[in-house]
């Protein structure tokens, strides 16, 4: 039954734009001091989704006045060659942040590549040092999608303190770092966090108890209305392309939430596209500016 007529769409595009506009001013001030934030974006192979993401990241850099260094390597690039590139970027003073787009081709160890990054340039927050610091509640680079979810909530006036946040999905990129982030002792966290995953028994028992439900398991429209509590807040991290013969392209993007039905029950929800996605890029820019800011001034 639709008892909730006031569900609000959380506009990720608008919130991301506001973050980027704040950064634009700071970047201009940095450039006036001859400090141009620089981001190296490394793409290996030609995964179509990765190409789209990388293009968008580079475009945002150009728009904000961040130097973007593009490295497009072939799918058969060796692990050794990629490691060499990372070593050179680690010591390149023009480069403040390094992003290696995931996933990498199967013959390259993601773990080895991430561990080769300088933690001070790891604007994706994937290096084990940053992951560990996040868990410990220390200053670090927080990975961009979890940081984007937190910022979406705080800038929408949705408090997390004392709330039950249920995250469905336990990836290293989203589920695990988001759980670590929202359980921290800080004003925009302080949540009680539950992480569900593919082996969770009776998942609805948890999801239906969520004040804030985060769907990040990568299964199209997995979260159905019956799994959501009336009046909950829903954050949809999923980006799935599914066949749709009514579209010219033959497909459409959907999240991990069955939006149309869930929308009718909730207090607020993020759309796909236009929810979490734009926030991820905004947080990447924020981390890049932070990395540049941390460069010690020349004597
Ligand atoms: N692949 C999917 N999400 C991400 C991300 O946030 N950063 C990188 N580097 N790769 C990804």
Distance 101 CA to ligand 1 centre (A): 5
Atom 1, ligand 1: which residue's CA is nearest? 102
pTM assigned to the model = 0.96
Q: Is residue 123 part of a domain?
A: no
Task: Assess whether the C-beta atom of 101 lies below 6 angstroms from ligand 1.
Answer: yes
Question: Of the residues 101, 150, 256, 265, which is catalytic?
Answer: 101
Residue 123 CA from chain centroid, whole number: 11
Q: Is the CB of 287 under 6 A from ligand 1?
A: no
pLDDT value of residue 295: 81
Is 296 domain-assigned? Answer: no
Looking at residue 7, its pLDDT comes to: 75
The pLDDT assigned to 299 comes to: 54
Question: 106 and 165, same structural domain?
Answer: no
77: left (phi over 0), alpha (psi -120 to 50) or beta: beta
How does residue 279 score in pLDDT terms, banded at 50, 70 and 90? very high
Q: Is 29 part of any domain?
A: no
* Pocket of ligand 1 contains residue 100 by CB under 6 Å: yes
Q: For the chain, what's the residue count?
A: 299
Q: Which of 118, 152, 167 is the last residue of a domain?
A: 118
pLDDT at residue 227, as a whole number? 98
> Which tokens is 80 given?
């050794």
Q: Whose alpha carbon is nearest atom 9 of ligand 1?
A: 101
Q: Tokens 């390259």, residue? A: 108
63 labelled catalytic: no
What is the total count of domains within the chain?
2
User: What ligand 1 atom has the least distance to the C-alpha of 50?
Assistant: 1
* 154 and 188 both lie in a single domain: yes
pLDDT for 204-239, tens place per residue?
999 999 999 999 999 999 999 999 999 999 999 999
The answer on 147 and 270 residing in a single domain is yes
Cα–Cα dist 193/95, whole Å: 36
Are residues 262 and 149 located together in one domain of the fold?
yes
* Percent of residues, the chain, with pLDDT higher than 70: 97
Note whether 112 and 159 are same-domain residues: no
Tell the residue number behind the tokens 């993007």, with chain if given. 253
Q: For residues 155 and 151, give the distance between their C-alpha atoms in angstroms, rounded to a whole number.
A: 6
Query: Residues 149, 240: one domain?
Result: yes
Measure the CA–CA gap between 143 and 130, rounded to whole angstroms. Answer: 9
Do 204 and 260 share a domain, yes or no? yes
Would you say 149 and 169 are in contact if contact means Cβ atoms under 8 Å apart? no
What was the pLDDT predicted at 298? Answer: 60
Closest protein CA for atom 11 of ligand 1:
102
Residues 111 and 178 grouped into a single domain: no
Asked if 101 is an active-site residue, the reply is yes
Q: What's the chain's average pLDDT?
A: 96
124-148 average pLDDT score:
98
Per-residue pLDDT tens for 48-64? 999 999 999 999 999 99
Residues contacting residue 157 through CB under 8 Å, at least 6 positions apart? none
- Asked if residue 242 and residue 192 are part of one domain, the reply reads yes
Give the mean pLDDT of 271-297.
Answer: 95
pLDDT at 1: 47
Token code pair at residue 282: 């905004």
Mean pLDDT within 65-76 = 98
Residue 88 lies in a domain: yes
Q: What angle is formed at CA 234 by the lines to CA 59 and CA 205, rounded to 5 degrees?
A: 140
Residue 158 lies in a domain: yes
Q: Is the pLDDT of residue 285 over 60?
A: yes
For residues 9 and 246, give the distance between their C-alpha atoms in angstroms, rounded to a whole number: 25
| Statement to judge: residues 208 and 256 lie in one domain | yes
* Ligand 1 and 102: CB distance under 6 A: yes
What pLDDT is attached to residue 5? Answer: 56
- At 155-191, the pLDDT tens digits run 999 999 999 999 999 999 999 999 999 999 999 999 9
Q: How far is the CA of 210 from the centre of ligand 1 (A)?
A: 27
Residues 96 and 286: their CA atoms lie apart, in Å, by: 12
Is the CB of 144 within 6 Å of ligand 1? yes
Q: What is the CATH number of the domain that holds 183?
A: 3.40.50.720
Residue 39's CATH number: 3.40.50.10860
Q: How far is the CA of 250 from the centre of ligand 1 (A)?
A: 26
Identify the residue whose tokens are 């968008």: 56
Any atom of ligand 1 within 6 Å of the Cβ of 160: no
Question: Is the domain of 151 the same as that of 273?
Answer: yes
Same domain, 80 and 170: no
The residue from 122, 124, 211, 256 that is catalytic is 124
- Of the residues 5, 11, 47, 57, which is catalytic? 57
Range of the structural domain that residue 256 is part of = 143-277
The predicted pLDDT at position 2 comes to 45
Identify any residues that bridge with 195 across adjacent strands, giving them in sequence order: 167
């Amino acid at each position: 039954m639709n008892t909730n007529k006031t569900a609000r769409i959380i506009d990720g595009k608008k919130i991301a734009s506001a973050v980027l506009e704040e950064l634009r001013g700071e970047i201009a001030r940095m450039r006036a001091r001859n400090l141009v934030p620089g981001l190296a974006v490394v793409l290996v192979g030609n995964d179509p989704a990765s190409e789209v993401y990388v293009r968008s990241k580079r475009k945002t850099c150009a728009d904000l006045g961040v130097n973007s260094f593009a490295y497009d390597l072939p799918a058969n690039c060796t692990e050794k060659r990629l490691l060499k590139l990372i070593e050179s970027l680690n010591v390149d003073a023009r480069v403040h942040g390094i992003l290696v787009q995931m996933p990498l081709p199967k013959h390259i160890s993601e773990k080895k590549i991430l561990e080769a990054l300088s933690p001070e340039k790891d604007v994706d927050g994937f290096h084990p040092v940053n992951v560990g610091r996040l868990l410990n509640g220390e200053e670090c680079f927080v990975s961009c999608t979890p940081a984007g979810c937190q910022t979406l909530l705080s800038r929408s006036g949705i408090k997390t303190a004392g709330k039950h946040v249920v995250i469905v999905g336990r990836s290293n990129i989203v589920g695990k770092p988001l759980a670590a982030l929202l359980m921290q002792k800080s004003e925009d966290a302080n949540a009680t966090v539950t992480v569900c995953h593919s082996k969770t028994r009776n998942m609805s028992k948890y999801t239906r108890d969520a004040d804030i439900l985060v769907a990040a398991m990568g299964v199209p429209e997995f979260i159905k209305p019956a799994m959501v509590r009336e009046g909950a807040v829903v954050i949809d991290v999923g980006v799935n392309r599914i066949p749709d013969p009514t579209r010219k392209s033959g497909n459409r993007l959907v999240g991990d939430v069955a939006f149309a039905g869930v929308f009718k029950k909730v207090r607020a929800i993020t759309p796909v596209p236009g929810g979490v996605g734009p926030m991820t890029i905004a947080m990447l820019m924020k981390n890049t500016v932070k990395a540049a800011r941390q460069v010690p001034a020349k004597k």
